[in-house]
Amino acid sequence: MINDIKKDAESRMQKALEALSNNFNKIRTGRAHPSLLDSIQVNYYGSNTPLSQVANISVEDGRTLSVTPWEPNLVPEIERAIMKSDLGLNPSTAGSVIRLPMPALTEETRKGFTKQAKAEAENARVSIRNVRRDALAQVKGLVNDKEIGEDDERRAADEIQKITDKYVAEVDKALAAKEQDLMAI
């Protein structure tokens, strides 16, 4: 029973870490990366479709993304979706290829993105702590139902805390890497 609680808590903490990684991908750095456009939805025959499903996204050089739609009639829709996104990118179209030059980040925007990254990391830490709280409550419920003793409860609480510490350290490591990436010129 305790092992099931620990496994469940660990899988939920892993999901929080994956969500943090996805959120970090949305925060752009000075370099061009295709995952930057993952959040963009294009109106494709009346339904919102991820950009990656209607176009090929590639890196032309260190600061330029190239978007080539599968269908040439989607070019205006893709341009509109990119301009509506909060990424601050200005597409330039040449035929059916859309180029997205990445503007250089100013010190102010770097600090703003770092602040956003710290907020995302704190949200991940909070969700990991919430998972810990839920797991400890489940263990406490087992003690109240007389299914396990207090020694087992203390041991389980220590193990859950170790798992929590491990995932919080992963969040801190991911944040440090993202901050370093943002501050690199």
Q: CATH 3.30.1360.40 in the chain, residues?
A: 34-101
How buried is 100 (Cβ within 10 angstroms: 0-12 exposed, 13-18 middle, 19+ buried)? buried
Q: CATH 1.10.132.20 in the chain, residues?
A: 2-26+106-183
Identify the pLDDT of residue 28. Answer: 65
| C-alpha to C-alpha distances, 43 to 50, 114, 149, nearest whole angstrom | 9, 31, 58
pLDDT for residue 158 is more than 80: yes
The CATH fold assigned to 2-26+106-183 is Topoisomerase I; Chain A, domain 4 (1.10.132)
Q: Under CATH, which architecture does the 34-101 domain have? A: 2-Layer Sandwich (3.30)
Measured distance CA(79)–CA(107) in Å, rounded: 28
For 40-72, the pLDDT digits (tens) are: 888 888 888 888 888 888 888 777 888 888 888
pLDDT for residue 88 is more than 80: no
pTM reported for the whole predicted model: 0.70
